[in-house]
Structure 1
Amino acid sequence: MTKVRTALVIGGGVAGPVAALALHRAGIEASVHEAYPSTSDGIGGTLALAPNGLAALEVVDARDAVVDIATPISRTRMSFGGKDIELPSLPGLPPLQLLDRPDLHRALHDVAVARGIRIEHGKRLVAVDENRTGVTARFADGSTATADVLIGADGIHSTVRRIIDPVAPGPGYTGMLGFGAEVDRPVPVEPGTMVFAFGERAYYLYWSLPNGRAGWGANLPQDRPMSLTEARAVPAEEWLRRLRAAYGDDVPGGDLVRHIDPDQLQVTGSLHIMPSVPHWHRGRMVLVGDAVHAPSNSSGQGASLAIESAVELARCLRDLPDPRSAFTTYERLRRPRVEGIAARAAKINHVKAPGRVTRALMPLVMRLMTRTVMKPEKTLGPEQRYRINWDTPLHPHTNLAHQTN
């Protein structure tokens, strides 16, 4: 039985509220401390929740709140050189759920608050004091908070990660910037279908919305990374000029970018991926979500893996006798899965931002990719059928065989 009774969760994005909800279900009192002064409206673009992410949300009774505000995607296609390939789906699984990251943040925030979980905003972590009996977080506003453990769910630029290990690696730049928009143009696909399009110069995706408009996202190659502040300082008209230059010859990509309203353009800044983090925990501190594993958006699994890890961490803290054994078991359960998915996604990035040699080899690359995606049970089955056995007690020697796939 655990000796942990209280927890501080640093970060109120995706993993933070889910961790607090799972800890609450495990009988551990948790509070969430978010650096932003309010919920993160306008921060982040569109994301998809995979079936495994939805299953993890079921554990904390938050699935319905998210599905109610999402767009289901039941069919996917790959497009290259004007040719569309219908991608097979995994039988027996619910559709992907597409939604904007700020909407997901708000939904999880509201569920957590409704369960009585305290969420404080304007709490930017600056230091942590730790002793044998607890851990104290110190915030930029001069306030403090103390608990048995501290969970770093503070994203890809995590402060907690640097406190745990001052020489920990930071996020790596994928060579692409993220954009999105809702476009007042129809696209030749039925609602519920998403197309992954490998254009002449860069990758983009689009889908049909129930209102007859199109959803659109793009990964624009760029040598230099840009912070969100830098990227949003560039006028939307200038970004649209660059996007038209990159996608103007594509069908229907060119038509879509030519009809994007500058006021509707979402600029999400540099796309990052986390390299392998050597130390997931130290003492009474541990990392979860993007703070420790952030695969590229090519995986389609970033948010889902963050939700899974938050639930699994709470399960470990519930069942194991002390923070050290809980954190060690949590890392052993999660590291192989998240790093395997990140490695798969990293390979796709080379195709999404192709150089001259890759473009010349693109037909061959696409044939190889098609052979892979046409066998979804082998490649995506282990990812999307993954389930956390919340009701199965853990012990220090629990291994992956205790998970169902």
Structure 2
Amino acid sequence: MPIKHIIIIGGGIAGVASALALIRLNKISCSVFEIRSEPTTIGGAINLTPNALRYLDYLRVLPRLLRKGCEVYHIDVISQRTGANLGRIDFDKVEKFKHRALRILRADLLEALLEELEESGVKVQYSKRIESVLERDDGVEATFDDGTTVVGDMLLGCDGIHSSVRMNFVQPERKPVYTGIAVTYGFLSAGGLSELLPFDSTAAIFGRFGTFLMSFYTVDKSQLYISVVTETKDVGSREGCLVKGSDQDALKDDILRRFAGSAMPCLETGMQKVDSWVLYPVFKLPPHGVWHSGRLLLLGDAAHAMPPQGESVGLVLEDVVFFSRLVSHHKGKAVSRIFQGYDSLRRARIDAVYKEATFRWETARDRGWLMTVIMEWMMWIFIRLMAGTKERDFQFDVRDIELPN
């Protein structure tokens, strides 16, 4: 039977993008449900790679973003110890990639997606906690804690790493694992600091006690985003939180200690200017998990959350655009066949990216002085060796994958 209606659990980037992709390609009706009471997204300013921008252009969202974000030609990787440039991640190949990269607030991306979805005639329904799922021969029925129900041909779990759909209905034993690393981030005005910055738009500064990222995130380069990735004990929370009071002072002192004595004065100056820090403990899912069961399918972080490595949103958008293609390609086919096709064609790429992300994430851990020097040389070599691979990654597009009959 043809797919007519899809239930989507999760009103964040993955869920809203899924609805847009399905509506665009298949003219399928979607109902989107979010557990929170209003649009909310955790995280600071994200880097949208050329892949991500192509998908957002396809979803008709990109024009809204270009008015707000900062275009990124490349990311400079710099040694905190010496100030030397260790390499560059290059996005400035528009003839191949169609776009460069874009640094933008995660909240601005979600807002743009929601605006486009509402113009398509769909509104996210908030304060909806899913309680039960009943699978039938002709569809699936979801019941929420307020007693309401909805029926669809399939249900997509797009509700993030702490997914209720995964933990209750797909693979309950697969739980998020704390990586031992946290991201601390904040925002500041670039006024009086821009002339000190040794980069055009974004720099990742590699140090002995973590990695320090600094980037413009507005189109006029008036605002800066600072993100510090450090080895951190489990803080007992699975969500990001604004650190307050004496804890704010202690956190700031710890960051200043970790990056003291830098060859770049802009680091300490920038850190001192941040008024409020947000601490975000990073979790990941064990690899090779189950992505679907019956008429339920997981997409995005609900299926394969991994340490963030600058391409996470791009992977989510790949998921949803590729899945919408499969739904269109297999019109009238069984839901199980669509899910199996998605799993078999998507799994290898996710496994490869997961492995790379985990490797890169380990470079943020504390290390001795000698190991830091060795890692700087390894980083210099690694970036050069990986240049061709990254170029192929930025050209990769799930819309070019040939689908089997």
1:21 match: 20
2:193 match: 186
Q: Secondary structure at the match of 2:286?
A: coil
Q: Are the aligned partners of 1:186 and 1:212 in contact in 2 as well (CA < 8 Å)? A: no
Separation in structure 2 between the aligned mates of residue 376 and residue 231 of structure 1, nearest angstrom: 35
Q: Are the aligned partners of 2:38 and 2:126 in contact in 1 as well (CA < 8 Å)? A: yes
Separation in structure 2 between the aligned mates of residue 383 and residue 230 of structure 1, nearest angstrom: 29
Whichever residue aligns with residue 102 of structure 1, its letter is A
Confirm whether residue 122 of structure 1 aligns to residue 118 of structure 2: no
Separation in structure 1 between the aligned mates of residue 379 and residue 259 of structure 2, nearest angstrom: 22
Report Cα offsets for 1:220-248 as digits up to 9, x if no partner.
Answer: 32121442668436433332222222223
Which of 195, 203, 208 lines up with 2:211 in the alignment? 203
Which of 245, 267, 280 lines up with 2:291 in the alignment? 280
> Relative to structure 2, which stretch is displaced further, 281-290 or 206-215?
206-215
Question: 1:318-357 residue pairs with structure 2 within 5 A?
Answer: 318-320=328-330, 321-356=333-368
1:303 match: 313
1:77 match: 76
Whichever residue aligns with residue 292 of structure 1, its letter is A
Question: 1:2-401 residue pairs with structure 2 within 5 A?
Answer: 3-25=2-24, 26-40=26-40, 43-80=42-79, 81=81, 82-87=83-88, 89-90=90-91, 91-92=93-94, 93=97, 94-184=99-189, 185-187=192-194, 188-189=196-197, 192-208=200-216, 210-227=220-237, 231-232=241-242, 234-235=244-245, 236-250=248-262, 251=264, 252-262=266-276, 265=277, 267-297=278-308, 299-320=309-330, 321-356=333-368, 359-389=369-399, 394-396=403-405
> Relative to structure 2, which stretch is displaced further, 239-248 or 75-84?
239-248
- Cα deviation, residue 144, structure 1: 1.4
Q: Secondary structure at the match of 2:306?
A: coil
Q: Are the aligned partners of 2:208 and 2:372 in contact in 1 as well (CA < 8 Å)? A: no
Structure 2, gaps ≥5 residues long: none
1:403 match: none
Q: Are the aligned partners of 1:191 and 1:208 in contact in 2 as well (CA < 8 Å)? A: no
Identity of aligned residues (%): 22
Separation in structure 1 between the aligned mates of residue 323 and residue 213 of structure 2, nearest angstrom: 34
Whichever residue aligns with residue 249 of structure 1, its letter is G
Question: What is the root-mean-square deviation of aligned Cα atoms in Å?
Answer: 2.3
> Relative to structure 2, which stretch is displaced further, 147-156 or 335-344?
335-344
Q: Are the aligned partners of 1:169 and 1:277 in contact in 2 as well (CA < 8 Å)? A: no
Q: Secondary structure at the match of 1:326?
A: helix
- Cα deviation, residue 129, structure 1: 1.1
Report Cα offsets for 1:202-230 as digits up to 9, x if no partner.
Answer: 21111246455532111132121442668
Separation in structure 1 between the aligned mates of residue 296 and residue 321 of structure 2, nearest angstrom: 16
Separation in structure 1 between the aligned mates of residue 125 and residue 396 of structure 2, nearest angstrom: 32
Separation in structure 2 between the aligned mates of residue 88 and residue 240 of structure 1, nearest angstrom: 29
- Cα deviation, residue 153, structure 1: 0.2
> Relative to structure 2, which stretch is displaced further, 269-278 or 183-192?
183-192
In structure 2, the CA distance between the partners of 1:34 and 1:277, relative to structure 1 (3 Å rule), is farther
Q: Secondary structure at the match of 1:216?
A: strand
- Cα deviation, residue 124, structure 1: 1.4
Q: Are the aligned partners of 1:65 and 1:111 in contact in 2 as well (CA < 8 Å)? A: no
Separation in structure 1 between the aligned mates of residue 171 and residue 341 of structure 2, nearest angstrom: 23
Separation in structure 1 between the aligned mates of residue 187 and residue 88 of structure 2, nearest angstrom: 24
In structure 2, the CA distance between the partners of 1:389 and 1:207, relative to structure 1 (3 Å rule), is closer
Q: Secondary structure at the match of 1:122?
A: coil
In structure 2, the CA distance between the partners of 1:336 and 1:225, relative to structure 1 (3 Å rule), is farther
In structure 2, the CA distance between the partners of 1:162 and 1:49, relative to structure 1 (3 Å rule), is same
Separation in structure 2 between the aligned mates of residue 116 and residue 336 of structure 1, nearest angstrom: 35
Q: Are the aligned partners of 1:247 and 1:257 in contact in 2 as well (CA < 8 Å)? A: no
- Cα deviation, residue 95, structure 1: 1.9
Separation in structure 2 between the aligned mates of residue 100 and residue 353 of structure 1, nearest angstrom: 26
Runs of 4+ in 1 over 4 A off after TM superposition: 228-231
Separation in structure 1 between the aligned mates of residue 367 and residue 138 of structure 2, nearest angstrom: 54
